[in-house]
Amino acid sequence: MNPWLFLALALTAIALSLWVPRLRLRRALAAPFPAAWEEILRRNIEVSRSLPAPLAARLRMLVKQFLLEKHFTGAGGLEVTDEIRVTIAAEACMLILNRPGGVYPGLRYIIVYPSAFVVRREARDEAGVVDLAPHGLLGESWRNGKVILAWDSVLNGSRNFVDGRNVVLHEFAHQLDAEDGSVNGAPLLAGERSYRSWAAVFSEEFAELQRDTRRGRESLFDHYGATNPAEFFAVATETFFEKPEQMAQHHAELFAALRSYYRVDPREWIRRSP
């Protein structure tokens, strides 16, 4: 083939591969939010009714983009419906309502089981024996662009936005944590000073939750957050969105750190009882 013709074809292919997804996104965002999706939000995303108008509009734009870009797969016999897709997308997008940086650009696949799923994990005992231990899970976030969820837990969490437990917020907080390349409880922040103050606030609160957990004392945070700093960030995120008043009152510095990270203050949203 003529090398000039080859070059022209290659450049055209590159231009199309960049242009077509942008065009599809622009079209999807310009389309009205479907009435059926609106009904799903009304029914399943209790908090969406309490958002101020600009955030409510933003949520709908983010959901449209999320559903265009992410692939959903049912597992364990589950058939993926619009209700499942819209509910998960809306919950996930609550975390990025006011954040720059796109709609989870590293995420491609969402796998949904009907209920708690069992995975087999390698676990080393003290003698170094590797065991394949089965665990029942409600959700899992992978760094290779995958989130796995149990639909019954998703629905319970989305219909009750005040109990501090929400598997979608939890797993998608792990996705945000992974944006800087490591899942360690410190997501991508603005600069070195931000990391220093983040580390100071989070390590103190993490140590306190570990003490409470060891001593069997109650905490505003789920004791699962004492597992490691990454779990603490995910659990603190659930608490920040679902119990903002208590968190601001009793864990003011941590609340302020998360408010500046997520760029929203969930206390401003009218709280309704479940």
Q: Taking CB positions, which residue lies at the least distance from Zn ion?
A: 234
Nearest distance in Å: CB 233, Zn ion: 9
Identity of the residue, 51 or 112, whose beta carbon is nearer to Zn ion in the bound complex? 112
CA angle 91, 93, 98 (to 5 degrees): 135
Instruction: Give the C-alpha separation, 4 to 65, whole Å.
Output: 37
Q: What is the 3-state secondary structure (H, E, C) of 153-197?
A: HHHHHHHCCCCCCCHHHHHHHHHHHHHHCCCCCCCCCCCHHHHHH
Nearest distance in Å: CB 12, Zn ion: 45
**125: amino acid identity, one letter:** D
Identity of the residue, 91 or 231, whose beta carbon is nearer to Zn ion in the bound complex? 231
Query: How are strands ordered across the β-sheet holding 146-150?
Result: 71-74, 109-113, 146-150, 139-142
Nearest distance in Å: CB 159, Zn ion: 21
Nearest distance in Å: CB 207, Zn ion: 19
Nearest distance in Å: CB 232, Zn ion: 10
Nearest distance in Å: CB 139, Zn ion: 7
Instruction: Give the C-alpha separation, 119 to 136, whole Å.
Output: 7
Residue 53 Cα distances to 17, 27, 48, 96, 198, angstroms = 35, 22, 10, 16, 31
Identity of the residue, 48 or 237, whose beta carbon is nearer to Zn ion in the bound complex? 237
Identity of the residue, 87 or 166, whose beta carbon is nearer to Zn ion in the bound complex? 166
Where on the chain is the footprint of Zn ion (CB under 5 A)? 231, 234
Torsion-angle region of 102 (φ positive above 0: left; ψ -120 to 50: alpha; else: beta): left
Please, how many CA atoms are within 13 Å of residue 23, restricted to the half-sphere of its CB? 6
